[in-house]
Amino acid sequence: MNAQDMSILNLVLHASWVVQLVMLLLLCVSVASWAAIFRKLFGLKRVRSLNDEFEREFWSGTSLNDLYASAVQNAKNAGPMERIFASGMREYQKLRERRISDPGTLLDGARRAMRASFQREMDVVESNLSFLGSVASVSPYVGLFGTVWGIMHAFTGFAGMEQVTLANVAPGIAEALVATAIGLFAAIPAVVAYNRFARDIDRVAIHQETFIEEFSNILQRNLGAHPAHSPSGH
């Protein structure tokens, strides 16, 4: 390959099969990474929207029993915060049906149910985040492996030459360096997205933990004011 043919496409086509395999792997990882980024972007947007919608309804003055009935009816389309609320109310009502009237037992049961639901919801929200972290950390090294292999292959080809010029060396080195470039192309968006999503997920977690505490306080006040009745308002 001469200097006039050193386009990216020609460099890829003339690279050794190992380097081509590394490039193909990195391109596949890059496509999967972008797919995960868009899924997470839209998923987090939907989570925030559903949480905000439920929180507005929660603080609108609607009774807890009506909110719970709505959450049960809308279970498939409910947001994480609504499902956490429903878990707490469900456990509270189960304990009431067993004729448990101790406020501490009722509150602890509701809080445990909400914490368990919170962990399940956060597992869903955090899905694919570890994949982006792996792409961000591993892709440059995979690209570097392809580069090192390509350079070794290039220099091996020069072993039988009596005179090695820059024109002979440049194409082989350039072919190898494309692997590092593709590795960085896969890693950089994954790094940016991982950091952005990690911050967004932390905000979602704090928001939901704050709701758990606020709802627990409402239950505690209702239990103190009406220990023999189910909570009707807040």
CA quadruple 72, 78, 82, 85: dihedral positive or negative?
A: positive
21 located within any domain: yes
126 located within any domain: yes
pLDDT digits (tens, 9 = 90+) for 175-214: 778 888 889 999 999 999 999 999 999 999 999 999 999 9
Task: Tell me the two tokens of residue 43.
Answer: 């998923």
234 located within any domain: no
CA quadruple 119, 121, 123, 129: dihedral positive or negative?
A: negative
Task: Tell me the two tokens of residue 74.
Answer: 């809308």
Residue 229: its pLDDT value, please? 44
pLDDT digits (tens, 9 = 90+) for 10-42: 666 666 677 788 888 999 999 999 999 999 999
Residue 67: its pLDDT value, please? 92
Residue 38: its pLDDT value, please? 95
Residue 192: its pLDDT value, please? 96
18 located within any domain: yes
Q: What distance in Å separates the CA atoms of residue 232 and residue 212, rounded to the nearest whole number?
A: 18
Residue 10: its pLDDT value, please? 65
3-class SS at 40? helix
3-class SS at 74? coil
pLDDT digits (tens, 9 = 90+) for 65-100: 899 999 998 888 899 999 999 999 999 999 988 888
Q: What is the enclosing helix (H) or strand (E) of 69?
A: helix 64-73
Task: Tell me the two tokens of residue 104.
Answer: 């501490």
CB 79: neighbour CB atoms within 10 A? 22
Mean pLDDT of 125-148: 91
173 located within any domain: yes
Residue 2: its pLDDT value, please? 47
231 located within any domain: no
Q: Which amino acid is at 177?
A: L
Q: How many domains does the chain have?
A: 1
pLDDT at 219 over 70: yes
DSSP string computed for 86-126? HHHHHHHHHHHHTT---HHHHHHHHHHHHHHHHHHHHHHHT
17 located within any domain: yes
Residue 77: its pLDDT value, please? 87
232 located within any domain: no
Q: What distance in Å separates the CA atoms of residue 183 and residue 141, rounded to the nearest whole number?
A: 7
pLDDT digits (tens, 9 = 90+) for 47-57: 999 999 999 99
Which structural domain, as residue segments, surrounds residue 181? 3-158+165-225
Q: Which amino acid is at 232?
A: S
pLDDT digits (tens, 9 = 90+) for 91-126: 999 998 888 878 889 999 999 999 999 999 999 999
Question: Residue 60 carries which DSSP code?
Answer: T
pLDDT at 226 over 90: no
DSSP string computed for 127-153? TTHHHHHHHHHHHHHHHHHHHHHHHHH
Q: What distance in Å separates the CA atoms of residue 197 and residue 219, rounded to the nearest whole number?
A: 33
Residue 7: its pLDDT value, please? 62
pLDDT at 217 over 50: yes
Residue 5: its pLDDT value, please? 58
Question: Residue 229 carries which DSSP code?
Answer: S
Q: How many CA atoms lie within 13 A of 87 on its CB side?
A: 21
